[in-house]
C-alpha cells in the first residue's frame, strides 16, 4: 500500500507542476502558482494540491513503525501549513509558509534516515540547497532557482520514499 501512496503523490505532484508550467511557464517557485491562479480566482487549487499531499503523507506515516512514522506525519503537517499559508508575500503567513515548506521537505528526509537508515536524501537535499544558494549568489537561474530546487527536492523524496516502501 505504501508504494501505491507514493505513486499517487508522484502523479499528483507531476500533474500539478506540469499543469502550472504549461499554463504560466516556469515560475519563481511552485508556491508562486498560488498568486498566478488567484488572478483568475482559483488560488484554492494550490491549497487543495498541498492538502492532498498532506493527507497522502499522513496515510504513508500510518504504515511506518511508531518510532519513525512521526517524521512522515510532520511532512504532511508541513504540506498542510504550506497550503494554508499560501499568501507568502504577507509577513505572518510568509513566515508560516517558509517554515512549513522546510518541514515538508526536511521531515520526510529525516524519516528516511531514521526509519530506513537511508541518509542519501538528507545529504542530497543539503548539497542541493548549498548549490542553489551558490547559483543564486552567482546570478545563475536567479529568477527560477527556487522552482528548480523544489522540483529536485520533491523528486528526490518521492523516488526515495518509493524505493524504501
DSSP string, 138-155: TTSSTTTHHHHHHHHHHH
Full residue range of the structural domain in which residue 132 is found: 2-164
Count of domains in the chain?
Answer: 1
Q: Do residues 146 and 29 make contact, with C-beta atoms less than 8 angstroms apart?
A: yes
Which conformational region is residue 87 in: left (phi greater than 0), alpha (psi within -120 to 50 degrees), or beta? beta
For 95-138, write each residue's pLDDT tens digit.
999 999 999 999 999 988 888 888 888 888 888 888 888 888 88
Q: What is the pTM of this model?
A: 0.89
For 32-79, write each residue's pLDDT tens digit.
999 999 999 999 999 999 999 999 999 998 888 767 788 889 999 999
Q: Torsions phi, psi of 90, nearest 5?
A: -80, 150
List the one residue out of 149, 99, 141 whose CA is nearest residue 124: 149
Amino acid at each position: 500500500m505504501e508504494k501505491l501512496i507514493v505513486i499517487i503523490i508522484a502523479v499528483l505532484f507531476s500533474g500539478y507542476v506540469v499543469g502550472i508550467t504549461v499554463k504560466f511557464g516556469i515560475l519563481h517557485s511552485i508556491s508562486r502558482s498560488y498568486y498566478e491562479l488567484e488572478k483568475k480566482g482559483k488560488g484554492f487549487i494550490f491549497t487543495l494540491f498541498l492538502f492532498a499531499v498532506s493527507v497522502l503523507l499522513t496515510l504513508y506515516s500510518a504504515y511506518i513503525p511508531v518510532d519513525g512514522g512521526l517524521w512522515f506525519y510532520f511532512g504532511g503537517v508541513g504540506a498542510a501549513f504550506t497550503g494554508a499559508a499560501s499568501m507568502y508575500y504577507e509577513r505572518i503567513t510568509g513566515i508560516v509558509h517558509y517554515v512549513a515548506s522546510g518541514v515538508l521537505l526536511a521531515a520526510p528526509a529525516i524519516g528516511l534516515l531514521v526509519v530506513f537508515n537511508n541518509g542519501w536524501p538528507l545529504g542530497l537535499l543539503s548539497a542541493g540547497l548549498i548549490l542553489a544558494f551558490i547559483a543564486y549568489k552567482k546570478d545563475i537561474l536567479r529568477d527560477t532557482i527556487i522552482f528548480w530546487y523544489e522540483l529536485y527536492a520533491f523528486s528526490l523524496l518521492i523516488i526515495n520514499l518509493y524505493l524504501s516502501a
